[in-house]
């Protein structure tokens, strides 16, 4: 795989370089209705790559997705707040294009001088970015590639997506991996090459169907799989429990039954759950047994007994990977499970890795000491698919 130093040695002064970053940062709407970034970790993670290109005199054209818009512009998913934050962090202007490959993009890119940076609007405002149709994806990739003369992929968090900007563009431009991707792979490799045992994985979060898909391949590789967050309710339903209005993948209940049967005692589920109905800092909540979730309530955090159970499992582990918050930690009444598990992961005597946009954000937003973790990865789904042994489309494309 060629890297940034290969590209730099060829010289980039005055050349347009397209950088695919994962700037999919968490945002919240404040009281005045303004979208604000709650954690800028993913922007900071790509700064070294952008700075090195800029200092070498490249015309740097940055692109990213944000959230999951469905192929058309949606104001709440604009990258405008990210452009503003990027400019602050780089301490220089960032030219912001109001579309991805249209008139605004061409004008902004055409106006760049050597050493300047532009950010294109959300890739997923275009149906070609995520299309399953090779021709449609390829056509969008060609438009994107026409904006630049070289391509740097530093979007580790999106490396598991077969999307135009990560999979098809490298077929059209000289391409290299950025420093973030190189570093992420270096660390995760330590978890696939003979990890110290016991090896525990903690899974949570809200991307339930995506992440249920990795469990089957992951199970034989790990000694314990602790499941909380929105992930646990399909398993609790598979055990025959009522889960009320909690996140549930009804059509995956059968899969979860099979996984539980195959896992023996490897899968550990919460024994209590914090239920509520309100997403607010003063929501009324109740802690109930995991087999007694009231029909009208949503499970929005794991309870204190579950934190103790999970922490006990983690205390004995020598390698831990954690992806996915244990609850809706963005609101105070549902943050204790994530905090408790984060503290237990940080205390692991061995290698501890946290991965995922929201999990990494939780570590920082909840005020934990980042240095207590072996590594904080920008990729959740990408890391999991790497750990299960899959070839990531975005990495394979760079190796070609
Ligand atoms: N029980 C739950 N019900 C609904 N959402 C949940 C629950 N637990 C966690 N979440 C949500 O999961 C989101 C993060 O999920 P995900 O994107 O899978 O994690 P990551 O970005 O770390 O990979 C958070 O915004 C959090 O509010
Ligand atoms: O946030 C991301 O993944 P993650 O939640 O697994 O860390 C990446 O930006 C990928 O986003 P996607 O899962 O909408 O393709």
Q: How far is the CA of 159 from the centre of ligand 2 (A)?
A: 9
Determine the residue of 207, 230, 310 to mutate for testing ligand 1's pocket, defined as the one with the most ligand atoms within 8 A of the Cβ atom: 230
For the structural domain made of 4-182, what CATH number should be given?
Answer: 3.40.50.1260
Closest C-alpha among 94, 144, 152 to residue 124: 144
How many A from CA of 313 to the centre of ligand 2? 27
pLDDT of residue 356: 97
The closest residue, in CA terms, to atom 10 on ligand 2 is 158
Is the CB of residue 385 below 6 angstroms from any atom belonging to ligand 2? no
228 CA to centre of own chain: 17
Q: For residue 400, what pLDDT is reported?
A: 85
Asked if residue 357 belongs to a known ligand binding site, the reply is yes
Cα–Cα distance for residue pair 307/325, rounded to 1 Å: 12
Ligand nearest to the CA of residue 207, numbered in listed order:
1
Active site residue 381: yes
Give how far Cα 155 sits from Cα of 64, 139, 183, 357, 392, Å.
Answer: 8, 21, 12, 12, 12
Is 254 one of the catalytic residues? no
Give the tokens for residue 78: 């604009």
CB-based contact 126:135 (threshold 8 Å): no
The CA distance from 101 to 120, in Å, is 8
Q: Is 4 annotated as a binding residue?
A: no
Active-site residue, 59 included: no
Q: Which of 80, 78, 61, 59 is nearest to 21 (CA)?
A: 61
Residue found by looking up tokens 């009208």 in the block: 296
Do the annotations mark residue 131 as ligand-binding? no
Rounded average pLDDT per 10-residue block, the chain, 400 residues:
97 98 96 93 98 98 98 97 98 98 98 98 98 98 98 98 98 98 97 95 96 94 98 98 97 97 96 97 97 97 98 98 98 98 97 97 95 97 96 96
Question: Which ligand is located closest to the Cα atom of residue 66?
Answer: 2
Which atom of ligand 2 is the closest one to the Cα of 210?
13
- 4-182 matches 195-387 in fold: yes
Q: Which atom of ligand 1 is nearest to the CA of 380?
A: 23
Looking at the CA of 381, name the nearest ligand. Answer: 2
In angstroms, what is the span from residue 29 Cα to ligand 1's centroid?
Answer: 17
312 noted as active-site residue: no
pLDDT score, position 380? 98
CA atoms within 13 A on the CB side of 84: 7
Asked if residue 24 belongs to a known ligand binding site, the reply is: yes
Q: Ligand 2 within 6 A of 158 CB?
A: yes
Q: What is the pLDDT of residue 278?
A: 95
Check 41, 357, 374, 394 and give the catalytic one.
357
- What pLDDT shows up at residue 31? 87
The residue whose CA has the least distance to atom 16 of ligand 1 is: 205
Residue among 133, 127, 108 at smallest CA distance from 118: 108
Q: Residues near ligand 1 with C-beta < 6 Å?
A: 204-207, 229-230, 247, 299-300, 323-325, 327-328, 330, 356-359, 380
Distance, in Å, from the CA atom of 168 to the CA atom of 393, rounded to the nearest integer, reads 10
Please provide residue 286's backbone torsions phi and psi, each rounded to the nearest 5 degrees.
Answer: -145, 145
Please report, for residues 113, 123, 262, 290, the alpha-carbon distance to residue 228 in angstroms, rounded to integers and kept in the order given: 49, 31, 19, 11
Q: Is 123 touching ligand 2 by the criterion CB < 6 Å?
A: no
**Angle in degrees, 0-180, between the axes of helices 41-55 and 357-365, rounded to the nearest 10:** 110
Q: Is 22 annotated as a binding residue?
A: yes
Q: Give one word for 229, left, alpha or beta, with left for phi > 0 and alpha for psi -120 to 50.
A: left
How far does CA 14 lie from the centroid of its chain?
A: 32
Catalytic residue among 207, 224, 266, 339: 207
Whether this model's pTM surpasses 0.80: yes
DSSP state of 164: I
SS3 at position 366: coil
Taking the C-alpha atoms of residue 217 and residue 339, their distance in angstroms, rounded to an integer, is 28
Q: Is 357 in the pocket of ligand 2 (CB under 6 A)?
A: yes
Structurally, at CATH architecture level, domain 195-387 sits in: 3-Layer(aba) Sandwich (3.40)
* Residue spans per domain, the chain: 4-182, 195-387
């Amino acid at each position: 795989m060629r890297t940034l130093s290969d590209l730099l040695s060829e010289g980039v002064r005055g050349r347009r370089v397209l950088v695919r970053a994962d700037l999919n940062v968490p945002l919240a709407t404040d009281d005045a209705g303004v979208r604000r970034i709650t954690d800028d970790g993913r922007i900071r993670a790509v700064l070294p790559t952008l700075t090195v290109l800029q200092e070498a005199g490249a015309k740097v054209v940055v692109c990213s997705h944000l959230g999951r818009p469905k192929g058309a512009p949606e104001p709440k998913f604009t990258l405008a707040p990210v452009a503003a934050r990027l400019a602050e962090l780089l301490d220089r202007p960032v030219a912001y294009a109001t579309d991805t490959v249209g008139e605004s993009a061409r004008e902004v890119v055409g106006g760049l001088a050597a050493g300047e940076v532009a950010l294109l609007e959300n890739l997923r405002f275009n149906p070609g970015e995520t299309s399953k149709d090779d021709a449609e994806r390829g056509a969008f990739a060609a438009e994107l590639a026409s904006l630049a003369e070289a391509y740097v992929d530093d979007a580790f968090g999106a490396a598991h997506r077969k999307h135009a900007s990560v999979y098809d563009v490298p077929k059209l431009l000289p391409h290299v991996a950025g420093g973030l991707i190189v570093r992420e792979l270096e660390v995760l490799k330590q978890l696939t090459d003979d990890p110290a045992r016991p090896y525990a994985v903690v899974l949570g979060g809200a991307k339930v169907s995506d992440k249920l898909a990795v469990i089957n391949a992951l199970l034989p590789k790990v000694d314990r799989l602790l499941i909380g967050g929105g992930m646990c309710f399909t398993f609790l339903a598979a055990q025959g429990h009522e889960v009320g209005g909690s996140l549930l993948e009804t059509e995956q209940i059968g899969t979860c039954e099979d996984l539980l049967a195959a896992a023996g005692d490897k899968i550990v589920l919460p024994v209590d759950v914090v239920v509520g109905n309100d997403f607010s800092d003063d929501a009324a909540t109740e802690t109930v047994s995991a087999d007694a979730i009231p029909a009208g309530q949503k499970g929005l955090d794991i309870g204190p007994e579950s934190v103790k159970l999970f922490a006990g499992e983690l205390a004995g582990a020598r390698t831990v990977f954690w992806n996915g918050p244990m609850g809706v930690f963005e609101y105070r009444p549902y943050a204790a499970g994530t905090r408790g598990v984060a503290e237990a992961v940080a205390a692991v005597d061995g290698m501890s890795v946290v991965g995922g946009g929201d999990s990494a954000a939780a570590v920082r937003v909840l005020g934990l000491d980042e240095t207590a973790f072996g590594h904080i990865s920008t990729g959740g789904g990408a890391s999991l698919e790497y750990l299960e042994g899959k070839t990531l489309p975005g990495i394979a494309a760079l190796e070609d």
